[in-house]
Amino acid sequence: MGLNGLRAQGQFSQTSKMDQSDTRSITKANFLFHFAASNEWPSAYTEGPFRLAVVGNPSLHAILADKYAMKSIGSQPLEITAYEDVQALEEAAFSHVIYCEESGSSLARAAKAIQGEPVLLISDAPDGLEYGALINFVAVNNRIRYEIDSEEAARRDLLIGNRILSWAVK
């Protein structure tokens, strides 16, 4: 099975497997959960599981699964999945939030696959917003911050929370 479609329930749910020294992934995991919890999706997407997908970062997936697998987003149970690459993601079920470790044409491919859908695509690429991410992590004074393309989020019918917007650097 590889990383394709791994579910948080069971695979990575033990704290002893989590790398506490990976502070970058721990910080990203916290941001991703808060992005999911602090934004609003159209009502048609508020039933069933709330899916958060991670593409290309097994460490981040493990941390998310360990820390947040038993949480919910609103009334929706949180389902955390991991995919090895964008191609595997393209074949998967709808995800509300997608974190894509890839950049450039691979990130653009992910953005094209979800075009027009209310999906919060998040990246950590130098040119993430230009390639279709709605939120992109950036380093500012050795700290992880993020920038937002709020106009594209509005076109996708996503309502970015005021707190999330106020913390953005761009």
Whether residue 79 lies inside any domain: the answer is: yes
Helix (H) or strand (E) holding 64: helix 58-68
Among candidates 147, 109, 156, 152, which has minimal Cα distance to 127?
A: 147
CATH of the domain at 50: 3.40.50.2300
Per-residue pLDDT tens for 130-149? 999 999 999 999 899 999 99
Per-residue pLDDT tens for 65-81? 999 989 999 999 999 99
What percent of the chain lies above the pLDDT cut of 90? Answer: 71
Domain extent, residue 91, equals: 6-167
